[in-house]
Structure 1
Amino acid sequence: MIDKNLSNKIILSFLIIVTVVNLIQSAFTGLIFDEAYYWYFAQNLSWGYFDHPPMVAFLVNLGINIFDGELGVRLASPFLYAANVFLLWKLIETDKKYKYTWLFMAFVSSIGLMVAYGFMILPDTALLTFSLLFVWAYKRFLLKKDTISVLVLGFSMAAVMYCKYHGILLIGFVLLSNLALLKNSKFWLATAISLVLYTPHLVWLYQVDFAPLKYHLFDRANSAYRIKFTLDYLVNCIAVAGLCFPLMYFAFYKLPSKDKFDKALKFLGYGVFLFFLFSSFSRKTQAQWVILIVIPLILFTLRYAYEHENYRKWLFRISVFSVILILYLRVALIYQPISPIKYEAYGNKKWVTELKDKVKGIPVVFHNSYRDAAMYGFYSEGGTVFSSNDLHARQNQFDLDSSEFKVRNKKVAYLTGNHEYLIDSTVSIIREFKNHKIRGTIIDSLKTYKKMKITIDKDSFKNKVATNFSAELYNPYNETIPTDSLTYAAVFYDTNKRGIKVIPLLVDNSSAKIKKEETVSIQVKIPDTVVIPEIQYFRMGIIHNGIYPGFQGEMIKLDN
């Protein structure tokens, strides 16, 4: 006889123990670079950020207001992981789960990436939780369509979109699996609730001129197809499932859909897989992008295991082996000497402390490294920091927020990891991860104009690169800027938006100075000595302490 009460007590005890273990792990494992970056987000709460919607920042801010250090940053993660396990348990409808409780615990503990989200705070940490909540609400909605299911469905749709933009894939594929939802008034009510809850972020997007969407959809560089991209993607799909991946994918493929809920899970699994498979044709993918497929994989795997004894035995054996391996790796994250690799969480506090001592606490500006900037900001315990980005890298939150104003016209340490810059350096340190040398110099008064805007007459670039063209220069700063202090350059790009050549620009200013919040006209000329290659895109900017221009101008596509 199956003792349901005993089984539920075992699950509850498991959740409590795992949560405590994850809290300890969170406190004693160094931050990885992405976590430090999200800590930086949380220093100034907003309804959105350059790279992601605000959920990860909200969760980090909640934690750092309760605890200091790494535990504060990650405080939400152990509880979100417990919610993941609880929701998975609730989503399994057969009573056989009570008979195989230990299989469930071993199996969910064997999925490495999901386990890592139990003590690391990333956008996908909450995305997985609210996706499971959405799946639970959808299952209930199919059965009852009651007030609870409508409210939770609406809330969870907004929540997944507050985590990551590709949360739309979850909603979209579930909707595609059941188009009859479009005729259901209660589904539209749930949708209306989600839109109301999501409105603050939509307003924020409008206020920043949709900068994040422009970057992700239009400005982000692609690559010519390489088979390695697709092979790496397939490896990622294996990695996200863990060592049980053959059994998981087999069960997902083998079991048919028996109802609308199963059909939604199938659409979600195949849809996410195919979507990012096509993405691999133009760019490198990352394992966490496909994290949503673990939901249907887990549910179908357990369902198949409950009905097939030999399959069940192998699933349990591989799961137990995986758990032992994961436990070893988790200890290695805390105790570096037994680690088989040099991981990015190691040694960051050491290099930050060393650098802070060398620069004597003055503001630090990192060239093209929001990762190092954020890590320095965290381990220097709130030291003033900025990432000065140019077209050799990509834009990030430091371009969108007001952090530049904290270092403008100030004495700073200007550092770079790119050896093309600052050859005569006076400050240097070695970052343990990748044995990376960071070096730079002290600048008595940093001149930076990241917020200036250059607007070019795009009609001049309809069919070819214009060698002479007009533009407008806007000064948003609360000061008058001598126009002869500005140095301009442009970058030529290929069809994949990869920079192929940097060129100087000759600029004739209509005014010797540009006053605060003033716009002036400039005439721009490409020097006659410049050989113009075959290109697809053109972008102009202002050079700061380097050889690449900044992001002051928009990317212009040539109609050739």
Structure 2
Amino acid sequence: MSLRIITLSFLGLYSLLALLHAWSLPFSADEAHYALYGSFLDWSYFDHPPMVGWLQSIALLFSSSEFSLRVIPIILSGLSLCVLFHLAKKDFGEKTAQLTILLFISAPILQVLPFGMIPETPLILAGLLNIWILKRIQINEGHQLKDWLLLGLILGAAGLSKYTGVTLAVSTFIVLYLQFKARLFSQVGLYLAGIIAAICIFPVLYWNMHNDWISFLYQLNHSAGKSEYSLAAALRMQVTQFAAFGPLIYIVGLLAIWKLRANNGAKIWLIFALPILILFSILSAKGRSLPHWTELGVIFMLPLIAKVILSSLGSKIQKRIFISLASFSLLLTLVVQVLLTYPKIAFDDYRHPLADLMGWKEVSSRITSLAKEGDNVFIPNWSHASRVAWYARPMPVKVLDSRFDQFDLWFGSAEVGDSGILLLHADHKGFKEKLLKQFSHCEFKDELEIKIESSYVNYFKLYRCDHYMGTGNKEAVTKEAVNSQ
């Protein structure tokens, strides 16, 4: 069986499963949060630029179902795969391009991310188009003004998608300088691209000007992390990456960086991949890391990984090693797919891998049935608040932590005298019932147990609470807060 038929077969199966999961799974915390962006349409938002909100606002014109709000990210992910295949084929040949696609659809974490709207979804497409337009500029020696204009639009779209899109601007400058050397600064197109990119990101600047620059201060504070570097935290991030993307991509990726560091065809891919991978490796040492933050950098590495695998198949030892790594990766991917397709597998209480997805729609329905006119919903933290704010909308949701965030902008902070429904959510640590003491009076109203077979997955308690007394003022992200880190 040819590699092309294998690729098309697995791609078809992957697409069908993605559509199935997009139809059947409830929202994650991030998906609900960015769906709320679309509901509260704005120039920008507290923790991210506005692209995800703008895109979701388009979907909301037609429907507010989970599947409808996943259509645009599915389309964007499909376009990203097409651009990735085109670029890999042009640089390294059709077999490498086919294996690149197989690597993409074999990664455990990429069984989930492509059908959810998160900032990486439009950023990945912008990043791949960034490489495409740079290659056009290189081929045309910078003489085509439209190429520079497109470059500005693509960089602007990246800046509207996620703040780490700045790494694409840095990589772009490096690639252009290596191409043109000192002549770069005499290229009118360079300045036009910069002006267009700046115009594109003006909504972010405009919103921040009217909100005390809180997004930038938050990102500085968020990136600063803990005051000291932790080797253990950095190692945990690498282990997480190993599991999230699979051992084949992780190990051969490291090998590809070494083997292709002097390869001219690989240079542009490494220039775009390494800043992202290095940045988040450093941030992980300060306690700031999530598995999907490196997604764009890993995708930039996929054609290089495919090239190394294909060029090493003549060695029996290397071939066996690659087969072993691929088998382990596929096993992890199979486990993910089984859990997504058939989540009714019993685990220990509160240990189900999909526990975080379950029960939020049902408990939100309970809340709306208990609520009176003018009630608030009180929730301990933002990730829980996202699902309830989405499924119980338009009820105001107030988060009872000390951090100032997007919910404080949307619904206001909890104030002394506020009343409403308090939601407590149990995990393996139990309920945070000390929050009841923040009100003058609380009365138990309802509970909801979410089980799979005989195991608890989620457990919620609802209280009607009167007269919030507070625990002190929320701390907005300020220069002083940043400097205190």
Smaller-chain TM-score range?
Answer: 0.7 to 0.9
* Aligned residue identity for 1:399: D
Q: Give the CA deviation at 1:337.
A: 0.9
The more displaced of 134-143 and 95-104 is: 95-104
Does the Cα contact within 8 Å between 2:380 and 2:399 map onto a contact in 1? yes
- Which digits, 9 at most, give the CA deviation of each residue in 1:44-76, with x for residues without a partner? 111100010011112222223223311122121
User: Which residue pairs with 2:442 in the alignment?
Assistant: 425
- Of residues 232, 235, 247 in structure 1, which corresponds to 2:236? 232
CA change 1:118–1:553 in 2 (3 A) is closer
Q: Which residue of 1 is the match for residue 408 of structure 2?
A: 399
Whether 2:29 is the aligned partner of 1:67: answer no
Whole-angstrom distance in 1 between the partners of 2:422 and 2:479? 27
CA deviations over 1:3-24 (Å, ceiling 9, x no partner): 9xx96x9978876765454233
Report the equivalent of 2:420: 412
Give the letter for the 2:205 counterpart. L
Matched, 1:337 2:344: yes
In 2, Cα distance between the equivalents of 1:190 and 1:232? 39
Instruction: Give the corresponding residue for 1:110.
Output: 106
Range that drifts further, 261-270 or 75-84 = 261-270
Superposition TM-score, scaled by structure 1 size = 0.71
Choose which of 52, 58, 62 in structure 2 pairs with 1:56.
52
Larger mean CA deviation between 202-211 and 144-153 belongs to: 144-153
- Aligned pair in 2 of structure 1 residues 360, 23: CA closer, same or farther (>3 Å)? farther
C-alpha spacing 1:147/1:25, structure 2 compared with 1 (3 Å): farther
CA distance in 2, matches of 1:553, 1:279: 19
Equivalences, count? 450
Shift of 1:408: 10
- Cα 1:323–1:35, aligned 2, differ >3 Å: closer, same or farther? same
Structure 1 residues 436-487: Cα deviation after superposition (integer angstroms, max 9, x where no partner): 55554333xx6xxxxxxxxxxxxxxxxxxxxxxxxxxxxxxxxxxxxxxxxx
SS of corresponding position for 1:336: coil
Residue identity matched to 2:405: N
User: 1:98 corresponds to which residue?
Assistant: 94
Amino acid of the structure 2 residue aligned with 1:152: L
In the TM superposition, residue 307 of structure 1 has moved relative to its aligned partner by 2.4
Shift of 1:375: 0.8
The answer for the alignment partner of 1:376 in structure 2 is: 388
Q: Aligned partner of 1:41: which letter?
A: Y
Q: Which residue of 2 aligns with 1:162?
A: 160
8 Å Cα contact 1:421-1:546 kept in structure 2: no
Quick one: structure 1 residues 103 and 266, their matched pair in 2 at CA, closer, same or farther if it must change by over 3 Å? closer
SS state of the match for residue 163, structure 2? coil
Structure 1 partner of 2:261: 256
Q: Which has the higher strand share?
A: 1
CA distance in 1, matches of 2:379, 2:335: 37
1:509 maps to what in 2? Answer: none
Deviations 1:309-362 (A, max 9, x none): 245676567547645643552342243213763421122223223333344686
Residue number among 195, 199, 212 corresponding to 1:196 in the alignment: 199
The 1:10/1:203 distance shift into structure 2, 3 A limit, reads farther
Of 29, 34, 37, 1:33 maps to: 29
Secondary structure at the residue paired with 1:365? strand
AA partner of residue 429 (structure 1): E
Change over 3 Å in CA distance of 1:95–1:141 after alignment to 2: closer
Secondary structure of 1:399 counterpart = helix
Shift of 1:366: 2.0
> Which is bigger in relative contact order (C-alpha 8 A, separation at least 6)?
2
| Counterpart for residue 441 of structure 1 | 464
Structure 1: 5+ residue stretches without partners: 447-543
What TM-score does the superposition give when structure 2 sets the normalisation length?
Answer: 0.80
CA distance in 1, matches of 2:244, 2:353: 21
Alpha-carbon displacement from aligned partner over 1:362-409 (angstroms, at most 9, x marks no partner) = 6432244222222113223x2413223452xx22111223x2399998
- Secondary structure of the corresponding residue to residue 70 of structure 1: coil
Q: Provide the rounded CA distance (Å) in 2 between the counterparts of 1:50 and 1:547.
A: 23
Give 2:442's aligned amino acid.
S
Change (3 A) 1:319 1:185: farther
Distance in structure 2 (CA, Å) of the matches to 1:221 and 1:103: 38
Q: CA RMSD in A?
A: 3.5
Task: Indicate the SS of the match to 1:429.
Answer: strand
Contact 2:73 2:115 in 1 (8 A): yes
Q: What's the counterpart of residue 86 of structure 1?
A: 82
Counting only pairs closer than 5 Å after superposition, residues 285-304 of structure 1 correspond to structure 2 as 285-304=289-308
For 2:428, the equivalent position in structure 1 comes to none
Compare CA radii of gyration and give the structure with the larger one: 1
Q: Name which of structure 1's ranges 288-297 and 550-559 shifts more when overlaid on structure 2.
A: 550-559
The equivalent of 1:174 in structure 2 is: 172
Partner of residue 453, structure 2: none
Q: Percent sequence identity over matched residues?
A: 22
d(CA) in 1 for partners of 2:341, 2:366: 21
Deviation at 1:293, TM superposition (A): 1.7
- Judged with a 3 Å threshold, the aligned counterparts in structure 2 of structure 1 residues 397 and 419 are, in CA distance, closer, same or farther, namely same
Alpha-carbon distance between aligned partners in 2 of 1:212 and 1:100, rounded to the nearest angstrom? 40
Paired with 2:336 and 2:244, the residues of 1 have a C-alpha distance of 16
Distance (Å, rounded) in 2 between the aligned partners of 1:222 and 1:431: 37
Flag the 1:326–1:281 CA change in 2: closer, same or farther, 3 A. closer
**Alpha-carbon distance change, 233 to 39 in structure 1, aligned in 2, over 3 angstroms:** same
1:388 aligns with 2:382: no
Q: 2:45–2:215: 8 Å Cα contact kept in structure 1?
A: yes
String of CA shifts for 1:19-47, please: whole Å, max 9, x gaps: 45423321111111111111111111111
Gaps of 5+ in 2: 426-431, 451-455
Give the match's secondary structure for 1:551: coil
